[in-house]
Every structure is written in C-alpha cells, then in structure tokens.
Copies of this chain bind each other. A is one copy, B any other.
Amino acid sequence: MAYLNENYLNVKESYLFSEIAKRVSSFTEANPDKKVIRMGIGDVTLPLEPLVIEALHRAVDEMGNAATFRGYGPEQGYAFLREAIQQYYSRGGVSLDMDEIFVSDGAKSDLGNITDLFSIENVALIPDPVYPVYVDTNIMSGRKIVYMNANAENGFLPMPDDRVHGDMIYLCSPNNPTGAVYNKQQLKAWVDYANAHEAIILFDAAYESFIGDDSLPRSIFQIEGAKTCAIEFCSLSKTAGFTGTRCGYTVVPKQLKKKTCDGKELYMNKMWNRRQTTKFNGVPYIIQKGAAAVFSVEGMKQAHEMIAYYKQNAKIIADALSEKGIKFFGGVHSPYIWMECPKGMLSWDFFDYLLSKAAVVGTPGAGFGVNGEGFFRLTSFGNRENTMEAMERIKKLL
C-alpha cells in the first residue's frame, strides 16, 4: 500500500491572493464603472528589453537549423551564461568559480528544492512577516519552524539571538514583503552567528538589483566568512522582467560543507550538483541566451533603465505617503513599500477601505505573517500613469 507524505496535511491552503481576487471581483461587479488600480501582486509590467528580444530571436533561429540546433545542455547551465554571471559577481567584488553557479528556472524552485539536501531534524529559522515559500516547503518536509520577529522596532530586520536556535536561516534582502535591506554590519553578524553555530544561511537575493547604494550588500558573498555558511538564490524575474521568461541562479560555494546526523561530512556544492543533474534538465537554451544578454554591459544598462522606472514609481508612492505623514518601510532599494495602515486599522480592514473608497488594490500585511498585521504592501511594478493616479486617490482619501 502506497502511503502519502503526511506533512502535506499541515500545509495551509494559500488564501491570500485568492481572497484578494475574490474581494476585487465582488467590487468590480458592483462598480463596473470604477477603474481599479492593482498594486498588490509583485509582477512586472514592462516588456523584455530589446537586447534580450534580439538574443531570443537569434537562439530560436539556431534551434531551427540542424547545424546550430541544441539538444540536452548541461543541467547546471551553459558555460556562456555561467561565465556571464561569474563576471557580474566579479564586478561586485565577489570571486566565484564557474561551478559554484547553477542556472535554474527561478529562485522559487531552488529555494524549495534546496530543502532536499537537509536532514528533517533541522530547525528552520524564518522571519515573520515572510515570503510564504520558505514556510510551506519546510512544512512539506516536516521540519520544525521557529519564527523571528521582524517589526517596526527592528526596522523589519531581525538580528541573531543566541537564545533562539535555528539551523537553516532564511534571510531575504532587499526584503519581500517589507522592502527592508540589511547593511554589511548586520549581515556580518548573521554570517558570524551561522559560522559559530554551524548553521546555514539561505539568502534570497532576488531583489538585489534594486539596491542603489554601493555600501549596501547586493550579495551575501560580499561578507567575509559567508562562503562557509551561505547559499544565495538570485533571479532575473525582477532584474530584467523575467517573471514569465523564467531564469534564475543559485550560488553554492565549494568550501561549504556540513555533517549528517551521524557525523559524516558532505560538500553541499557536490550534493546540489547531484540533485540538479538527477532531478532537473536545465533551463531552455533559448532562455539562457536571453538571460546571457542581460549580463552584457548594454543589457545591464537596459535592465537598469527598467529598474529605474520602477524605482521612480516607488518614489512617487513614498512621497505621497510622506506627504500624508504615513510611516512606511522600503521603497528606496526595493520595489516594495510596506506602509503602516492609517489610524491603527487592521490590514484587511484597510484593504477593504482602500478598495471601496479609492478602487486601489494592495496586499494586506497579515497575509505574510502575524507581524504583518497593521501593515500593507504596495508594489511599484505598475505603469507610471496608474501609480500616479493611485497615489492621488490615496492622498485624497487619507
């Protein structure tokens, strides 16, 4: 008799975005004449940059010609893309071996699949509020989760606490949903903590390209000691609008080694390589060619134009909130604005208020965890006109 994984009984249904969709749809039915502006979901709206489009077309042509056709590629990614990523890190002062870089179909997949490499005995230390994938994937494999409080007092940047035990530490900076960014001293404290406790930091850097201040770390590997305690997950989703094009990369340092419960040592780079070659067949050649274009000098320039556009939206949101004296986090080195709900409203109440009175949709903070209550996430990924109109409506309302 085949038995199923009982941990799936403990995974909660993900109601957040379906509940939002339901309430928005009731509103539009009742108010067909109102123009609803959506600032809830973290999905990009600008098209792929011209250089990527050109590279994709060229790669499609190659696939249609026997002489240039590509069959199975290396599961870890083609050398041309891994080299381009290696050079990108190098420009940021981080030296990586090419085989420390694994190309993937996105950070979400790798953040989920990395749990394969760990014993179920570990405790996952996860901030609250949080991107739900860290929580759900650990519940699915039956691991204990300990939450760390991220709140207004610590600027939504929880720091290590020797009284709290964690083996797999999830950090996301710039943070989703709060937009908060760790500085180098703060990340160094985490790296030191992880090394001292032989813990692993799973560092989600999906929003690194929004950092506009060179003194802030874009990669955990800019911190001394990180190569013995950290794995980094990156993505082109927000850097170059690849949410529907799907390409990311994960860095697993070769010196990163840990023990099994019975004391045998394993290198995590080798384990991840074995996992990926066994359970993954690599990213489409066409998509890898598009991704490589992003990392060229001109490609990165075009990507930064898109990022600047979204950051200008973020500034419009931030300025409007400042004007109304509303406290918020993020919005500078991040596409997310994490605002306090006005007048002490609960986050779902503010959601309903904003939707009914201003026809603007955001994400209630409570959907990201207990500490999200009383907060509200707005995203800057919309178009300029809608963003401006939404903020005018909000200013008038509040």
Contact = CB atoms under 8 A, between A and B. Distances in A.
A111 to B, nearest CB: 8
Nearest to A119: B3
A56 B60 contact: yes
Given A119-B6, A246-B284, A261-B3, A43 B72 contact: yes
B260 A3 contact: yes
Interface string A116-155: 1111011000000000010011001100000000000000
Interface residues of A, number: 83
A206 to B, nearest CB: 12
A279 B4 contact: no
- How many copies of the chain does the oligomer comprise? 2
Given A277-B14, A279-B137, A4 B268 contact: yes
A18 to B, nearest CB: 11
Contacts of A383: 66
Contacts of A136: 278
Contacts of A119: 3-6
A216 interface: no
Contacts of A258: 1-4
A46 interface: yes
A287 B285 contact: no
B112 A279 contact: yes
Interface string A244-257: 11100000000000
A65 interface: yes
12 contacts: A1-B198, A2-B199, A3-B167, A4-B259, A9-B266, A45-B71, A71-B241, A71-B244, A109-B279, A245-B285, A246-B282, A287-B287
The 4 A-B residue pairs with the shortest CB-CB distance, nearest first, are: A112-B279, A6-B260, A3-B119, A53-B64
